[in-house]
Chain A
């Protein structure tokens, strides 16, 4: 294990009584903003190269290479470029970004400033989840300090040529505004409805201009990377998933909370060594990266928590945010899925037919199964709905519906017996009607309720 000391959490001790907010002076006293000073002497391309070489992948869910994303921003400037910081953090089970903002806001601001140099951004908008009242205030104060210390503002970052303004934009309580183009629409003052892609935000993002969108944790990695270099970064994690990662542990564990370790630790390790072991019963399942990624089953304790193993060996959509919800043996998986799907039915933005209707249907079917009215055909319907929604089958505008699909798919496939027990095979009743002189069989879908 090459993870020797906390990186992102270096100013946030595990013991709650010792935690405090690191304002500007404390931040600088502990080595803050030295990476930014270094970055002001580098070219944008150099910074982007460092980030690409490090193998940093987005921590907001999709795991896309951050350096590559920055490289998509046009070199030639025909107007302003924007940086949108995704602090909407609404994925159930995910609460790591809040933690970073709560105690170490300048780490994020430093990452923002370096990213702006790399991608020639003029304005950074921190799009923060509406419910994060306290965090928005912390950021406002930290930003004011950064202005006062010549990081943001017209004089340029530490007097350099990159001039950056920074604003906090508060969301209004919709999960879909975390999806990058939904976020941009909301930022522009419209309804948070994801856009058709292409064009991608790097070409036409906020207000039609090139825009970088990154997660809070992704940006928090950047100062450390600049300071200590890609080789150091790669000593942590696995070859394709480098660096440190915050794990948000919750559910039936003894010590829920945010923990830092490298990418690629096993599920077992995260439960035993980070979260203090199972509570109230033996391990049964773990939702690995927010519910949109699906669930890891009983035989998957050895799966490595990185961007690839969770997919290939764990059968999930991906690592997502590593917001882990661990479930013990007493959990009713049907009820757990219904709870997840209720979230999707509530949060679907309502643009795409499949997502709008599919999520509502899934919730309806799961509710009737739980109410004792389940039938075998209900499972077929759930699986049909699940298969036909998402970007993957090509039926929706954004990845929200894939989340609904993967949660449903992995729950039913991995805990099939539990579902089947509530969905008995029904007696086949064939209805006939008399048409003219003949009896004709009625083509009954068994699910016309």
Chain B
């Protein structure tokens, strides 16, 4: 094995082994030395414009920006020399004077130990206790509150342009830009329209990287400093991508969600995962309810379960529907309950579509961003798996070829270098399985172009939705072996459900058990049966039509696992403690089975996890 080359440098007297190509700031950070910087962000390309990170480097005539200066062997760096500190104080003064940083009115402001504002933190660190350059505002900086989830206060913006770069480099949405010049410079959206009317898709990446109080989250502002909240890494259950999140909680309340930089989504989230989860929800169901005289009346768990058990015993056949948002453990217990306790095979998913078959080498999310040729067949990741949509756009920015195969128009069409219909890629032949490697059915020249593009690419990725015909599958299987495949699954844990044999399908039986978790109907109507039990976290049209309603946990209270589009099993960790009267789905099922007169073969969640993972 060849040892990785090392660049030896000295920072503040400490010997550091850096990697070639690193900047002084990165090398120092790896060694635990923090060089202050405002425009720099570890996940954005350095730009070297704020000049807070200037350091003294031996043999350099002038101070140099640590965030862009590459390390070289033997380099000697002083980050806190008198000259560097003096220069840093001057920049900070200028930034403070530029706009209205009256910290006491700002949600980020705190003490030297507790401030969330990176500018204020540096103000404390360098002892800026007065202004020698007073305020010098170019104008009355406006506040733009037209976005649903967060607000931009230009008066607190320090023009670090992290937001602009995040929108370009991470979200690849290119909404943000800069208007005017010099001291009139201002962040703007598109051709200077209000943020709410712009092409912004509210992914919130800009909000996550903003160092000051300029971008403020409407729901979590003023509700706790970083020092007062808990950060927990978890998985978003918004869709099948299963993005890594960092949940910010306090006093058993979810304040805000941020993207996990270390997960496959690389810090990005979509508006569903970041913002919708903290939006107000319908009334939470705290106790079981049984329909009495036409009205749902709250009752005890015991009464409700006994009543429901009686109905299920009487019924000739019981049908079950479960939400694909539920973790494996809940779904496994549900399936088990039907097969073993109720002796019924009438169990399926509440909605969704059959997950696509597995094909070839599976891709991970990063493969999409790094691909040089992406084929999207059926499915619409821009709507259904939005973070994947952003990754596609990122690859597009890096000159990847985009090929869209779909019978319906989608948002991806405007990115497509080649646009085909599904029938263009159908395999043609009497006996497809014998002639897999033969030619495709040709309709125009489209398919040969597709094939040529995939063959010419170095890292081709095929994203494919559900509901494809066998002929299309045959065509996909015939693609070269270097292709990585990523299924575009609809339904958060539909992949986990499929492994348990649960698929979306019509179910039959005069009694119906619907386990919806924290799903909401969104216009969907339940099939009408003689007796319906709905287990749901929230009151909705579904619970209003039920005979018995049982409470359920919401996603942030559940424990278990889900399987995402990469086929990875991701742990679903509880972020919040459920109300005392609300139990996990599997516990409810255990209780119910006992009242029916049968004991399920597990009594701990770990038993189920072991069984399914």
Binary contact readout B128-141 vs A (1 if CB under 8 angstroms, 0 otherwise): 01111110101000
Main secondary structure of the interface of A (DSSP, over half): loop
Return the chain A residue nearest B68 by Cβ. Answer: A196
Name which residue of chain A comes closest to B46, CB basis: A196
Give Cα A281–Cα B52 distance, bound, in whole angstroms. 48
Q: A392-B62, A448-B131 are in contact. Are A356 and B159 (CB under 8 A)?
A: yes
Alpha-carbon distance between A448 and B132 when the two chains are bound, in angstroms: 6
The answer, yes or no, to whether A4 is at the interface (CB within 8 Å) is no
Pick the interface stretch among B180-188, B342-350, B417-425, B452-460: B180-188
Q: Number of A residues whose C-beta is below 8 Å from B?
A: 37
Residues of A within 8 A of B97 (CB): 357, 361
Report A198 CB to chain B, min CB distance, Å: 9
Give 1 or 0 for each of B35-71: 1 = CB within 8 Å of chain A CB: 0000000000001111110100000111111001000
Bound-state CA distance A66–B464 (Å) is 56
Which residues of A, 387-424, contact B by the 8 Å Cβ criterion? Answer: 388, 391-397
Partner of A346, one of B50, B134, B181: B181
B48 touches A353 (CB 8 A): no
List the B side residues contacting A379 at CB < 8 Å.
none
Knowing A196-B48, A448-B131 are in contact, say whether A174-B181 is a contact too (CB < 8 A): yes
Q: Is B91 interfacial (CB 8 A cutoff)?
A: yes
* Interface assignment of B354: CB less than 8 Å from any CB of chain A: no
* Residue pair A360, B182 in contact (C-beta under 8 Å): yes
Decide if B87 touches A357 in the complex (CB within 8 Å): no
Contact with A along B171-182 (1 / 0, CB 8 A): 000000110111
Taking a contact as CB atoms under 8 Å apart, the answer to whether A364 and B136 are in contact is: yes
B286 interface residue per 8 A CB criterion: no
For window 302-321 of A, CB contacts with B under 8 Å fall at none
Cβ-based interface call for A250 (8 A) = no
Docked Cα-Cα span, A447 to B133, in Å, equals 7
Q: Which residues of B contact A444 (CB under 8 A)?
A: 130
Chain B residues near A143: list those with CB within 8 A: none
Q: Is A326 an interface residue (CB 8 A)?
A: no
How many residues of chain B get a CB closer than 8 Å to chain A's CBs?
38
Chain B's closest residue to A191 (CB) is B178
Residues of B within 8 A of A443 (CB): 129-130
Q: Any chain A CB within 8 A of the CB of B90?
A: yes
Of A345, A353, A359, A391, the residue contacting B49 (CB under 8 A) is A353
* Bound-complex Cα distance A352 to B182 (A): 9
By secondary structure, the B interface counts as loop
A388-B90, A448-B134 as given contacts; A393 in contact with B185, CB under 8 Å: no
Q: Judge whether B335 is part of the interface by a CB distance below 8 angstroms.
A: no
Interface string of A348-363 (1 = CB under 8 A from B): 1111111011111100
The residue from B51, B60, B130, B134 contacting A353, defined by CB atoms under 8 A apart: B51
Known: A353-B51, A447-B134, A448-B131. A394 touches B180 (CB 8 A): no
Is B98's CB within 8 Å of the partner chain A?
yes
Whether B132 lies near A447 (C-beta < 8 A) is yes
Residue A347, interface by CB 8 Å: yes
Find residues 343-387 in chain A having any chain B CB closer than 8 Å to their own CB.
345-354, 356-361, 364, 381, 384
Q: Which among A348, A354, A356, A392 has the greatest number of chain B C-beta atoms within 10 A? A: A356
Q: Is B95 part of the contact surface with A, judged by Cβ < 8 Å?
A: yes
Is A445 interfacial (CB 8 A cutoff)? Answer: yes
Among A191, A359, A388, A395, contact of B182 (Cβ-Cβ < 8 Å): A359
Contact A350 B63 (CB under 8 A): no
CA distance A347 to B63 in the complex (A): 25
Task: Give A276 to B212 CA distance when docked, in angstroms.
Answer: 58
A388 near B87 (CB under 8 angstroms)? yes
B570 in contact (CB, < 8 A): no
With an 8 A cutoff between CB atoms, is B94 at the interface? yes
Question: Could you list 10 examples of A-B contacts with CB < 8 Å?
Answer: A196-B47, A196-B68, A350-B185, A352-B49, A360-B136, A393-B87, A394-B61, A394-B65, A395-B91, A444-B130
With A345-B183, A361-B133 already in contact, 17 other A-B pairs whose C-beta atoms are closer than 8 Å: A176-B181, A196-B48, A349-B182, A350-B181, A351-B47, A352-B51, A353-B95, A354-B51, A354-B91, A356-B159, A357-B95, A360-B182, A384-B90, A395-B63, A396-B51, A444-B130, A447-B134
